[in-house]
Amino acid sequence: MMNSHEVDYEIFGDDMQAVEIELDPQEVVIAEAGAMNWMEPGIQFEAKMGDGSEPNKGLLGNLLSAGKRAITGESIFMTHFTNTGHGKSRVAFAAPYPGRIIPIELSEVGGRILCQKDAFLAAALGTRVSIAFNRKLGAGFFGGEGFILQKLEGDGRAFIHAGGTVIKKELKGETLRVDTGCIVAFQDNISYDIQRAGNLKSMFFGGEGLFLATLQGTGTVWLQTLPFSRLADRIIQHAPSAGGQSQGEGSVLGGLGRMLDGDR
């Protein structure tokens, strides 16, 4: 039996995409705060603590969920958009930086995916949005963006956002080594860990960072070509400093930070 609302959608654009979700009367879609672009008459929205997947969880349960989201830097509130009219109505969402929107039917990927903590955009009501801490010590200390992940669970449709171009890979027992920031999402049965990036010379002078993420198993992996951290890093490098001069590429601390993160 389906627990999530069944929503239709249409994606517009190329590099700066928006997804327009069509809601039947009383259907609900949840989204990150601030993601909405436009909505048609009949749509009402309300900020709530929690994703609404467990309506009987109570105040304490909602507070615990909100506390976990606060750890990741996300808003403790999610916005619920409901079609209160008598006919179909649409509401649209977009991410704050260039990239692609990926629609995922959770029932077709085992009912659960793990994604980068800022990848979630919107989902049908009934989708559970929670936090997954990587349990492996290496990933915890050196995983960068991959240490704290979002877990999406349910049997409905969810929408996640990736920077740049999206590459979908199907692993069949292979191991894939990836820059930690380039991982968008992967199925729950894929194992995730951190490994050293080659020998010492390659680690310090190769420009790929000291550590790489390893994904191993059988399932689907979504990758992105432009992690937001890499985009922000480039902007900061060329932004004028307080003295009016560009930060440039020569900052010792900046270079060390980029080397540790694998961002060039």
Q: Write out pLDDT tens, residues 83-137.
A: 999 999 999 999 888 899 999 999 999 999 999 888 999 999 999 988 876 655 4
* Burial category of 160 from C-beta neighbours within 10 Å (exposed 0-12, middle 13-18, buried 19 and up): buried
Q: Rounded distance, CA 222 to CA 184, Å?
A: 5
- End-to-end CA, the chain: 47
Q: Rounded distance, CA 226 to CA 135, Å?
A: 26
Q: Rounded distance, CA 109 to CA 220, Å?
A: 8
Amino acid at 260: L
The average pLDDT across 12-20 equals 92
Does position 31 have pLDDT exceeding 70, yes or no?
yes
Q: What is the pLDDT of residue 252?
A: 43
Q: Rounded distance, CA 198 to CA 204, Å?
A: 10
Q: What is the pLDDT of residue 250?
A: 44
Q: Rounded distance, CA 134 to CA 119, Å?
A: 16
Convert the pLDDT of each residue in 127-184 to its tens digit.
Answer: 998 887 665 544 444 444 446 788 999 999 999 999 999 999 999 999 999 988 899 9
Q: What is the pLDDT of residue 69?
A: 56
The average pLDDT across 37-58 equals 83
Q: Can you give the residue ranges of every domain in the chain? A: 8-228
Q: Cα dist. 258→12, 87, 116, 132, 241 in Å? A: 34, 51, 19, 25, 18
Averaged pLDDT of the chain: 79
Q: Which of 219, 12, 216 is nearest to 109 (CA)?
A: 219
Q: Which of 176, 213, 177, 180 is nearest to 194 (CA)?
A: 213
Listed ranges 12-26, 46-60, 146-160, 199-213; the one with the highest mean pLDDT = 12-26
Q: Rounded distance, CA 227 to CA 257, Å?
A: 15
CATH code of the domain occupying 8-228: 3.60.160.10
